[in-house]
Amino acid sequence: MENILYLYSLPYDPRCPLVCFDERPCVLHNDVVELLPMKPGRVQRFDYEYKREGTSNLLVAFEPLTGFRIIEVSKQRTAADYTRFMQRVAEHYGSAKKIRLVQDNLNTHTSGSFYGSLNAEEAFALGQRFEMHYTPKKASWLNMAEIEINAVVRQGLKGRRIGSIDGMIEVIEPLVKERNNNKTTVTWQFTPEKARVKLRRHYDRVVSKN
């Protein structure tokens, strides 16, 4: 935890940008009964019945110090999807010496995943672009990408029925463009000092074990 909080306290450095990564599955739903359009004095209406069309997945890379994000809609959340997305992130930060990457402990979130899709030389080179940092188990709330995902879902997906990957992309892409243009970011206020006070009992527990 303190490692992640320390990273968040560092000033902006384009040579070593801080990027938070997270994923989120999204269920696809289609209407069974056609929507009733808006009319004067009446809102758009839809039937309670729907048809499930599988799932999609949001891959999110969020740079809090610049308010920039890359969001991709994928069919799955496999090691191959992770590798492809990390290639995209590495390409965007092509001039960076090292990309500090904050992510959770999902088993695909390692440089080892790159070897399943790339040859050894390419996989190793891609892995060298990243300095990987992991949030503690049961503490994914420390990942600012999770906050970004929640904001995107609330702003663009909540209350909507989207039945296809293409439909999801049509909603997500303009929203990402708008948030990037506005440089929408997160004001992070949880510091190591605050953590040591708020979570004092956990620190005491570690001391008692020693």
Rg (CA), the chain: 20
Are 93 and 126 in contact by the 8 Å Cβ rule? The answer is: no
Domains and CATH numbers, the chain: 10-185 (3.30.420.10)
Are 52 and 29 in contact by the 8 Å Cβ rule? The answer is: yes
**Beta partners for residue 52, in sequence order:** 29
Portion of the chain with pLDDT greater than 70, in percent = 90
Torsion over CA of 16, 91, 136 and 176, rounded to 10 degrees?
110
Among positive and negative, which fits the CA dihedral 183, 12, 58, 80? positive
Encode pLDDT of 102-142 as tens digits.
Answer: 999 999 999 999 999 999 999 999 999 999 999 998 899 99
**Beta partners for residue 69, in sequence order:** 62
C-alpha–C-alpha distance, residues 82 and 196, integer Å: 34
C-alpha–C-alpha distance, residues 189 and 98, integer Å: 25
Are 13 and 29 in contact by the 8 Å Cβ rule? The answer is: no
Predicted local distance difference test score (pLDDT) of residue 162: 82
Q: Which of 191, 188, 173 is nearest to 69 (CA)?
A: 173
Residue 210 reports pLDDT greater than 80: no
Residue 194 burial (C-beta neighbours within 10 Å; 0-12, 13-18, 19+): exposed
Region of poorest pLDDT, from 28-32, 86-90, 154-158, 167-171: 28-32
Encode pLDDT of 41-96 as tens digits.
Answer: 877 655 555 566 678 899 999 999 999 999 999 998 899 999 999 999 999 999 99
Residues 169-193 have a mean pLDDT of 95
Half-sphere exposure of 96 (CA within 13 A, CB side): 22
